[in-house]
Amino acid sequence: MQRSFRLLPLVTSIPLALAASGVAQASKPVWPDVVVQLHAAGKAYIIDTRSDAVAATLDTCKGGTLGSPTPDASKVYVSCAGDGQKEVVVIDLAGKSVAKRLETGNRPKHGLVSPNGKWAGVDHWGLSDGKLRITFIDTATDNIARKLDIEVKGSPKGVTSMHNSWSPDSRFFFSKDRVDNRLVVVDTSNWNVRTLDIPSAPHYSVPSPDGKELWVVHEGSIKPGFLGPNGTRLVLGYVPEGNVMPGVIVYDLTKPDMPVIARIDMPIVGEETVEAHHGNFTQDGKLFMLLNRGPGNDSRGRELAFIDAKTKKLVHRVSTASNGIGHTYNSPDGKLAVVTNYGNNVITIVDTKKMATVQDLIIGKGRMGHVAFTRDGKSGYVSNAGDGNVYKLDMAKLEVVKTIETGAGTAGGGQVLNVWTNVFEELPR
């Protein structure tokens, strides 16, 4: 794999990993007694988990479906990714109100608060003045602290960024450049920027639980309708000429140049559509779960691949009843992962030890969205993008026990969130 660095300006040679830096982690995040559903209709519904009643309905913005709480659970930063939008909306959770609106750039995608709670780093779905913008908000004042505009060579063929993550010591912010297919690394101690080439469009980045590695999921560039050898569908180990297999690039964060440790292709066999989406570690950090969604216009991917985090080898594959799978949400005890999707109204619940499906649930009237859990792990709250509602799950019985009407029949369910997370399918450890 060809790799290159672009430095703006020279980057310090201090190693990235928490273990190497000696910086202490922030205190454990506060787990509030509410969940917040960010609805595509421009609303935020604050649900009290003690009563399952909607305690407040707030006006947010067009495309405000993703957000990030602060570790102290005092605020939520909502990114307005709709066409023509420029704002990040700050929700005061205690006051159940909108506290502030800030213009950060063209179509804020997914602002993410740092582990120490100091910064909210915001990437954007559109270029600002022809450049890729990353904006940092000072969470103490909710003022913009820094705007970084990064040069790009190509022309956008769609959205220009995707999801972000932080190093555990809150120093490094990892973002995506989908114009030139690069990982973007920002050092918040001096605002230096570096970029690393990725073989196909980067989608998701996940620091390992010990902070020593960064796993970057790239979508691949498999051409639609291709066949493998002898007219079969894709087979293990076969890469059609002119295509890039979807998968993961693993970087070493303990070394200043972030060398590649491993390149792991998604082991797709017999799938009708191919495109890697998200991936995350199990709560014990032993396995990495990688999902095939398929392209956004053909979300029929079903494969969940389990990769050994230490050996970087495939250990098991599960084909789910969900299709267009995109997210695996870990339960608080780490025993289960709830798989949500872009293709149908089925969630698949997987036993992470056995790496096997334990339950499939048909929920609501449209494709599934996101999940949040109560701290004790007894309940889960999952959004449905078809009917816009939130459904309460009994995690012991693995069944729906309540429908919370939040969308008033309006399609477009977005993220359901409560406790701070670095990548939104993993929970505090």
Degrees to nearest 5, angle at CA 373 with 370 and 377: 145
User: Would you say residue 209 has pLDDT above 90?
Assistant: yes
User: Would you say residue 349 has pLDDT above 70?
Assistant: yes
Amino acid identity for residue 227 in this structure? L
Lowest mean pLDDT among 214-218, 225-229, 304-308, 371-375: 225-229
233 pLDDT tier (thresholds 50, 70, 90): low
Element (H, E) at 362: strand 356-362
Assess contact for 191 and 148: CB atoms under 8 A. yes
**Beta carbons within 10 angstroms of residue 254's beta carbon:** 18
Token pair 């909108």 is found at 98
User: Would you say residue 168 has pLDDT above 80?
Assistant: yes
For domain 5-15+26-417, which CATH number applies: 3.10.129.10, 2.130.10.10, 2.120.10.30, 3.40.50.300?
Answer: 2.130.10.10
pLDDT tens, 140-152? Answer: 999 999 999 999 9
Cα 355 versus chain centre, distance: 21
Greatest C-alpha distance within the chain: 63
Distance between CA atoms of 28 and 44, rounded to whole angstroms? 25
pLDDT for residue 274: 84
Burial profile 155-192: b = 16 or more Cβ within 10 angstroms, e = fewer = eeeebbbbbbbbbbbbbbbbbbbbbbbbbbbbbbeeeb
Distance between CA atoms of 420 and 178, rounded to whole angstroms? 26
pLDDT for residue 368: 87
Strand 192-197 to 202-207 pairing: unpaired
Mean pLDDT, residues 404-419: 86
Start-to-end CA distance of the chain, whole Å, equals 34
Across 25-39, 239-253, 362-376, the highest mean pLDDT is recorded for 362-376
User: Would you say residue 226 has pLDDT above 70?
Assistant: no
Does the predicted model carry a pTM greater than 0.85? yes
Strand 182-187 to 368-373 pairing: unpaired
Sheet holding 276-281, edge to edge: 276-281, 287-292, 303-308, 314-319
39 pLDDT tier (thresholds 50, 70, 90): very high
Residues 6+ apart with CB under 8 A from 251: 183, 196, 213, 214, 216, 258, 259, 260, 261
pLDDT tens, 251-281? Answer: 999 999 999 999 999 887 777 788 899 999 9
- 196 strand-pairing partners: 5, 183
Q: Where are the domains of the chain?
A: 5-15+26-417
